[in-house]
Structure 1
Amino acid sequence: MRAYERWCEANELAVARTIYELAIGTGQRLGDCVKMQWADFDGQFMSVVQDKTQAKLQIFCPARLRSYLAALPKTGRFILAKNLTDHIGKRQVQKAVEEVRAAIGVKEGEERLVPHGWRYTAARELAEAGCPDSEIQAVTGHRTLAMVQKYRAQANQKEASRCSVPASGGSDLG
């Protein structure tokens, strides 16, 4: 993901970088991020109404996203503004992301970067920080805990691996 960030910075790709920051900072889908307005952000929380679930969420934004938004010029009502009153289209955002993915070689193969994976990244980072499923669900807006647990699986496996090692460091295998 650092390669994505570096490419956006080096090539001054504000749309591709902004959608990335919004997605990993809020755990929302690209379509929901595109519709975020400056008025939805109070300096700490982002108000979101998810298209897919119609869930109304208040999402605490991590320091990284708050700093990014503080430095971002306001060019319209929307964070990703097409003009003063409209947001850019979801397809335009997807195209911007695709171009960066192609340029850095992560569009295909084992190391591919998928924008929906940014949502997974946000959920995994919350799990690794020790947030319970209910808090992760409050951020991602998933209706079922089963979906949250799917996103949490990698963080749980990592922690379980650490816990399975005996305190002495030795083996229990006789």
Structure 2
Amino acid sequence: MDRGVFVSRAEAESTTLADALERYALEVAPKKKDAYHDTLRCRRLSKRTLARKALAAIRGKDIATFIRERQAEGVGANMIRLDLALLSHLFNTARTAWGMESLTNPVDLVKGQRPKLPGGRDRRLVGDEQARLLAAAHAYGGEIGPLITWAIETAMRRGEIAAMRWEHLDRKARVLLIPETKTGTPRRVPLSTAAMGVLDEFPRRMGHAAHNVDGRVWGMRPDSISQAFERVCKAAGIEGLTFHDLRHEATSRLFEKGLNPMQVAAITGHKTLQMLKRYTHLRAEDLVGMLG
């Protein structure tokens, strides 16, 4: 203590994980891009047995037990990964910003025991699925039909589509600005003729004025888009297709149109070529003509 190297463990020993999660939800989660889901994750984790332990008492073996419990509950690998990412950030924050320098991050000790993520999805529209999908969407009504076309034409993420605003549209240049993205880097998306056609239809759509009160292009929220899409797929008799698969489809079509990886990345917003490869699924049949 005289030399100034003593580090007190008192706070880390008296603060439970539940207490830390509550503080994290109040101070840290609101500053993150996915604040809503991180807050929900904090609440869910605070109800687990692990949350009763003091931060200083949590070891790597406790995290390993937590992983096995989640797997036994049938939770997917990606959900477990997100839980671990939050716990890891919580411990790092407690050590660096909350004055608990004595803490070690137990999540770092179980890297080899984390569940492996499944390979990237390769689901694409096949046969007449697009026509059936759009027909079912038209019968369903509302915005889901135009949303499907928009997603296929732009390769935008569901959240980016839901957050679209008229003020970010440059009709003359046929470009849409996305100021906030998943990667944190704004980007400008070039719009095809079909995409512009979707927007040109808005003045004739019933009820659009009500949706435009706050400046947003679409009236549907992300969760509502997924729910409507699931109902449309069921009505069309299409299985194994998610709304996010339309981003895969759109990205693959950009390559099939002859764009190079850098051009595609500029449109889709992928940070690395590895991630771009994961979301791109080219059909061998479509490549035959390019071989000569």
Task: Return the TM-score normalized by structure 1.
Answer: 0.78
Higher helix share: 2
Alignment of 1:52 with 2:182, yes or no, is yes
Distance 1:50 1:159 in 2: 34
Runs of 4 or more off by more than 2 Å in structure 1?
149-153, 157-164
Who is 2:278 aligned against?
Answer: 150
CA distance in 2, matches of 1:114, 1:50: 23
Residues 92, 145 of structure 1: CA spacing in aligned structure 2 closer, same or farther, 3 A cutoff? same
Task: Quickly say closer, same or farther: Cα 1:153–1:8, change in 2 above 3 A.
Answer: closer
**Could you say which residue in structure 2 is the equivalent of 1:141?**
269
* Gaps in structure 1 of 5+ consecutive residues: 82-87, 168-174
Q: Gaps (5+ residues) in structure 2?
A: 1-129
1:80 matched to 2:218: yes
The counterpart of 2:232, out of the listed 80, 97, 100, is 100
**For the structure 1 residues 57 and 7, does the alpha-carbon distance in structure 2 shift closer, same or farther, using more than 3 Å as the test?**
same
Alignment partner of 1:19 out of 130, 147, 151: 147
| Number of equivalences | 153
- Aligned position for 1:120: 248
Return closer, same or farther for 1:16/1:70 CA change in 2, 3 Å cut-off.
same
Query: Highest Rg: 1 or 2?
Result: 2
Deviation at 1:151, TM superposition (A): 3.6
Q: Which is bigger in relative contact order (C-alpha 8 A, separation at least 6)? A: 1
Say if 1:163 and 1:22 are closer, same or farther in 2 by CA, change over 3 A.
Answer: closer
| Alpha carbons 1:123, 1:152 under 8 Å: kept | yes
Question: 2: distance between equivalents of 1:97 and 1:141?
Answer: 23
Shift of 1:62: 0.8
Name the CA distance, whole Å, in 2 between partners of 1:72 and 1:4: 20
Taking the aligned partners of 2:186 and 2:224, their CA distance within structure 1 comes to 25
For the 8 Å contact 1:15–1:96, the answer to whether it is kept is no
Deviations 1:31-63 (A, max 9, x none): 110000111221211111344211211111110
* Rounded Cα–Cα distance in structure 1 between residues aligned with 2:266 and 2:145: 25
Counterpart residue identity of residue 278, structure 2: K
Q: What's the counterpart of residue 192 of structure 2?
A: 62
Letter in 2 for 1:15: E
Give the conservation status (yes or no) of the 8 Å contact 1:18–1:80. Answer: no
User: Cα–Cα, structure 1 residues 132 and 147, in superposed 2: closer, same or farther, change >3 Å?
Assistant: same
Q: Cα distance, 1:161 vs. partner? A: 3.8
Contact 1:38 1:79 (8 Å CA) reproduced: yes
Give the partner amino acid of 2:247.
R
Structure-2 separation of matches of 1:136 and 1:50: 19
TM-score by length of 2: 0.48
The AA in structure 1 aligned to 2:217 is I
Aligned partner of 1:171 in structure 2 is none
Say which SS state the counterpart of residue 55 (structure 1) adopts.
coil
Q: For the residues of structure 2 that align with 1:49 and 1:16, how far apart are their CA atoms?
A: 23
Q: CA deviation at 1:25?
A: 1.9
Q: Return the offset for 1:159.
A: 5.4
Offset of 1:19 from its aligned partner?
A: 2.2
Distance 2:187 2:195 in 1: 17
Specify the SS of the correspondent of 2:170.
coil
Q: CA RMSD in A?
A: 2.0
Checking the alignment, whether the CA contact within 8 Å between 2:248 and 2:281 is kept in structure 1 is: no
Q: Which residue of 1 aligns with 2:164?
A: 36
Change (3 A) 1:24 1:159: closer
